[in-house]
Amino acid sequence: MVHRDSPDHARCVQAMFDRIARRYVLMNSLMTLGRDRAWRRMVVEKAALPPGGSLLDVAIGTGDIALEALRHDESIQAIGADFSQGMMRTGRARPGGDRIYWVGADAYHLPFPDASFDAVVSGFLVRNVDDVAAVFREQVRVVRPGGRVVCLDAAPPKRSLLYPFIMFHFRVIIPLLGRLIAGDASAYTYLPDSIQSFKTPEQLAAIMREAGLVDVDYRRLMFGTMALHVGTRPEE
């Protein structure tokens, strides 16, 4: 199992995604009962790209958000960055994958000049990094003034009547699917662990503001187990 406080955390995360890359898309659909596509569509809408605009998908993985953005408007330019070559290789082979520019990069040090993009998005990245604020500061640096930064990630579930069912899904169903479909129960034990120990949507919004974004807003999805955040880099 990969622990957030391990000194090798980033290397373990990278290796884990390389391992599960081939079954990643299918696992997402099964775990979210097919809802993940609708959330990614919301990410694209919140990014508010102008026609022909440029989109950076940080931690692009197998490309779902960038592919959704190209489906929404084929005139955009989609660039994806990720440190897992395995995930990007799988993504590049998908239909439409050749329309994306795939860049091997660490989310802490994006290899792009300041203000390069009309919007920067990430899906399921920030839960995997130790310094969430630094990762957002880097996204603020590369988005143009007035451009949006959008973040989709899981959120720790609140105590409610549904809580026991949600925990059953996290603790039993997801690791079981991980073992049967991805052949990797440990990666899918890490997933619920990382969700439960992650920041609340309120805390994440505060970090985004501290990173320099304004008009930060969020909405909870899927019984509060997901959150979609959006903020804007202020005009200079």
Ligand X SMILES: C[S@@+](CC[C@H](N)C(=O)[O-])C[C@H]1O[C@@H](n2cnc3c(N)ncnc32)[C@H](O)[C@@H]1O
Residues of this chain that bind ligand X (CB under 6 A)? 10, 13-14, 17, 59-61, 64-65, 82-84, 87, 106-108, 123-125, 128-129
Q: Which is nearer to ligand X, 61 or 97 (CB)?
A: 61
* CA–CA gap between residue 236 and residue 194 (Å, rounded): 36
Collapsing DSSP to helix, strand or coil, 232 comes out as strand
Q: Which is nearer to ligand X, 10 or 42 (CB)?
A: 10
Residue 168 beta carbon to ligand X: minimum distance, rounded to whole angstroms: 22
Question: 33, 95 in Cβ contact below 8 A?
Answer: no
C-beta nearest to ligand X: residue: 61
Q: Which is nearer to ligand X, 17 or 170 (CB)?
A: 17
Residue 195 beta carbon to ligand X: minimum distance, rounded to whole angstroms: 11
Q: Which is nearer to ligand X, 146 or 152 (CB)?
A: 152
Q: How far is CA 2 from CA 113, 157, 169, in A?
A: 33, 21, 20
Kind plus residue range of the DSSP H or E element containing 229: strand 226-232
Question: 218, 230 in Cβ contact below 8 A?
Answer: yes
* CA–CA gap between residue 96 and residue 209 (Å, rounded): 34
Q: Hey, what are 194's tokens?
A: 């990382």
Residue 169 beta carbon to ligand X: minimum distance, rounded to whole angstroms: 17
Q: Which is nearer to ligand X, 111 or 234 (CB)?
A: 111
Residue 166 beta carbon to ligand X: minimum distance, rounded to whole angstroms: 19
Residue 10 beta carbon to ligand X: minimum distance, rounded to whole angstroms: 6
